Homo-oligomer: A and B are copies of this chain.
Amino acid sequence: MAGRMKYWGWGFEGEALSVAERDSLLSTLEEDFGIRPTTEGRTPGIADIDLPDSRLSIPAGLGRICTREPYERILHSFGQSQPDSIRIFARDFAHAPDVVAYPRDEQDVLALFEWAGDAGAALIPFGGGSSVVGGVTPDVGDGFGATITVDTSRMNRVLEVDAHSRAARIQGGARGPELEAALKPHGMTLRHFPQSFEHSTLGGWIATRSGGHFATLYTHIDDLVESVTMVTPAGRIESRRLPGSGAGPSPDRLVLGSEGSLGIITEAWVRLQGRVRFKATAGFRYSGFLQAARAVRAIAQAGLYPANVRIVDGVELQVNGAGDGSFTLLVVSFESSDHPVEAWMDRAAECAQDCGGIPDGDWRTDPGAHLKGAVGAWRNAFIRMPYNREALTPVGIISDTFESAITWDRFETFYSTVAEATREAIRAATGSDGAVSCRFSHAYPDGPAPYFAFHCAADPASMLDQWWEIKQAVSNAVITNGGTITHHHAVGRDHRPWYEQQRPRLFGDVLARAKEHLDPHGILNPGALLAVRRP
């Protein structure tokens, strides 16, 4: 590890926006959108935090894997959501875990299950801690005497690489860079790059049905899982390693999306790909978002499967310093480990231009096109984006995102209704206008995954309430207009009220029965995905 993880924001200590980056972000928000800082907060030092006393004594046999050290408890108190950030800067660590455990193997996990069951404690599985939906927040209600966060980062090895079948057996606690580094000498890559890649884990990706950077085809980790092992309080679930099967409902698909509520994912066989040797990227400008969306639909329905086919609207480009607000950008790219991709890009470019796109640079003559122009500027901003929040929360600016998916026939109404509901909710909650933007994170033949972002100035005294008022309104709009409450961010604690509306009632009953069987004491991640229910 490069250093200690920050407990107040993204990444390692010492990493943050530069002063110039922060100033540029703040001045864009102020000058272009009238969003001004309302306070000047300070990052809390460990000594500033009124950490509740731990309610647990660590049993002798677990001393080597458990700690009550303040930094560890503080680091594991929150994920990376907007409300998490607001609580951190408000120094509200009332729900800090009582103990942080670092199991080294499945035996350790089973020992923790036993201890937690005996102690009446809830267990919070924790991979990289990148949840933006309250998935790792130990806020479990009054039914538990304590909370233990189970950090899987010591189970982080690539155990086997089968280059012949292009698959690898990897432990659940391996982070993106760790597993990619181990695959690289074999000429292989998992090629799953969520924005959280650096500080999220394979087990976390599987538990939350993570979406990677690739915009079509194998968008979610779901399709990359060949088999999975999950340890539950009732025992071990290990599925058979198979390239495909039709033998009953898929066991893997029960684990995928279980969000730590049924067990802890200790390892998986995942499908790999050869490393990219051929690549082409092109950008196109459109006067409007809906026009650009039509190009995405055409490309998504052409059966070309680009690695990237994203659109970013004028506001989002502007907020991130990659545009002047006058155009929507479409980025298309193809990648292959096997063959040149010009024939694919030729056809995609035709689709893009048929829908009115103006080329942003020349992809054919300039192999570095993806690093230049609006495409390159957007790419750079995207990489730095996770660092924005810790600069904005302390100055009273709410900066949040939410993502969904919707079929094409309902998309235009969905887009305009949800965007307007977001603008209206910001006005209602804060009394001022905010900036609301949209991009597509993924695109399918039957519909896009719209990804909304918003910024607004909050009252520092009621920032959490204002955020929640907006969050409720936008979530209502997403569900009422036919979308999913999450395309790839997961349900967690924050989305559960809307997930319960979206999920077929009887399917919810089946999940509850699965939990009763696999986690009879109800100790696993209570309140994330499934309602807290103590037997």
CA distance A486 to B245 in the complex (A): 6
What distance in Å separates the Cβ of A442 from its nearest Cβ neighbour in chain B? 6
Is the Cβ of A241 less than 8 Å from the Cβ of B407? yes
- Chain B residues with CB under 8 Å of A305's CB are 305
A491-535 interface code vs B (CB 8 A; 1 in, 0 out): 100010001001111110111011011100000000001000000
Q: A339-B347, A506-B235, A506-B518 are in contact. Are A511 and B248 (CB under 8 A)?
A: yes
Is the Cβ of B504 less than 8 Å from the Cβ of A509? no
- Chain B residues with CB under 8 Å of A208's CB are 246
Is the Cβ of A257 less than 8 Å from the Cβ of B248? yes
- Chain B residues with CB under 8 Å of A162's CB are 407-409
Q: Does A59 contact B (CB under 8 A)?
A: no
A220's closest neighbor in chain B, by CB?
B246
A454-479 interface code vs B (CB 8 A; 1 in, 0 out): 00000000000000000000000000
Interface residues of A in 229-257 (CB under 8 A from B): 232, 234-251, 253-257
Name the one of B209, B240, B301 contacting A246, with C-beta atoms under 8 angstroms.
B209
Is the Cβ of B273 less than 8 Å from the Cβ of A445? yes
Residue among A162, A164, A507, A509 having the largest count of chain B Cβ atoms under 10 Å: A507
A240's closest neighbor in chain B, by CB?
B502
- Chain B residues with CB under 8 Å of A503's CB are 247-248, 251
CA distance A259 to B240 in the complex (A): 20
Is the Cβ of B511 less than 8 Å from the Cβ of A513? no
CA distance A505 to B236 in the complex (A): 9
Interface residues of A in 106-145 (CB under 8 A from B): none
Is the Cβ of A486 less than 8 Å from the Cβ of B246? yes
What distance in Å separates the Cβ of A522 from its nearest Cβ neighbour in chain B? 15
Is the Cβ of A490 less than 8 Å from the Cβ of B246? yes
Q: Does A258 contact B (CB under 8 A)?
A: yes
Is the Cβ of B447 less than 8 Å from the Cβ of A242? yes
A339-364 interface code vs B (CB 8 A; 1 in, 0 out): 10001100100000000000000000
Interface residues of A in 307-346 (CB under 8 A from B): 336-339, 343-344
Interface residues of A in 368-413 (CB under 8 A from B): 405-409
A166-B445, A226-B407, A240-B482 are known; give 10 further A-B pairs, CB within 8 A.
A162-B408, A209-B246, A211-B246, A240-B484, A244-B449, A246-B490, A250-B257, A273-B303, A302-B339, A510-B513
A-B contact pairs, 30 of them (CB 8 A): A164-B409, A167-B407, A220-B244, A226-B446, A234-B506, A234-B509, A239-B504, A242-B407, A242-B484, A243-B405, A243-B406, A243-B407, A244-B405, A245-B487, A247-B484, A247-B485, A247-B502, A248-B259, A248-B499, A248-B529, A249-B253, A249-B254, A250-B253, A250-B256, A250-B257, A254-B507, A254-B510, A271-B446, A303-B337, A303-B339
